[in-house]
Amino acid sequence: MRGGSFSSGLGVERKILIHTVRGMTTAIFLNGAYGRMGRAIAEVAEEEGCRIVAECDIGSDLSEKLSDCDVVVDFSSHDSTPELAEKCAAEGKPLVIGTTGHNPDESARIQACAEKIPMVWAGNYSIGVNLLIHLTRQAAKLLPESYHPEIVEMHHRFKKDAPSGTAENLLEGVLEGRKWSPDTARRSREGITGERPDQEVGIHALRGGSVVGEHSVIFAGPSETIELSHSAGDRSIFARGALTAAKWVVGKEPGIYRMGEVLGLPDPNAD
């Protein structure tokens, strides 16, 4: 419930409601608290039934107050996540991972921790984006190979990794739908590339300005083009999604969960 005043007849009810919600809040340890996403999460935490009990960023002690939280949310950087995951595993704390761009060693260390704790690991926490990933997988499955998939993403000039984690998730959706191998991905093009084969997925990253995040999946077919797209207008959509995941993962069995499971989207392996 947002701030503001009610008439005198509803003021008491409003105070009771806020007190009740606060009594049911999920305690969050926020890593990467001073970055763009960290600030966005802190701004909406109370509205989403959460409270930040500890904040951490570069140079801080990762173990500080870790025992006081219900779940850890990480939006720091890819090289910080493995150490945090290992500390969470040691403490038995669930983890929500919002960092992207992990190298194979970092990914392996994180995955090893999933044997002890539950974690939600997603490239994007927006409800709309995760629906886009699901629809992309379905389109790739239903359309013939003559409909050529291309993925385009654009972000602000400060984003450090490319392509985005969301673009990688969309690529996975296409590959799963088509049952293609990862080596069919073509990351941008340059020079004399030759004719485009049917079994290829183009993936392209654009950077500039203050764009929060834009993603499109294009299926270019014979005489027609189908485009699925999502545009983020504000980081709060990612923050709210991450907090939804944080509340959901508490009490789950150890393992790696995707945002589709948090949102109850159909299992891609079952359709």
Active site residues: 155, 159
81, 85, 86, 91: CA torsion to nearest 10? 140
In total, the chain counts a number of residues equal to: 271
- Helix and strand numbers, DSSP H then E, in the chain: 8, 11
Give the DSSP H/E element, type plus range, for residue 95: strand 95-97
Q: Provide CB contacts within 8 A for 258, sequence distance 6+.
A: 120, 121, 122
What CA–CA distance (Å, rounded) separates 56 from 25?
A: 20
Q: Is the dihedral of CA 125, 128, 132, 138 positive or negative?
A: positive
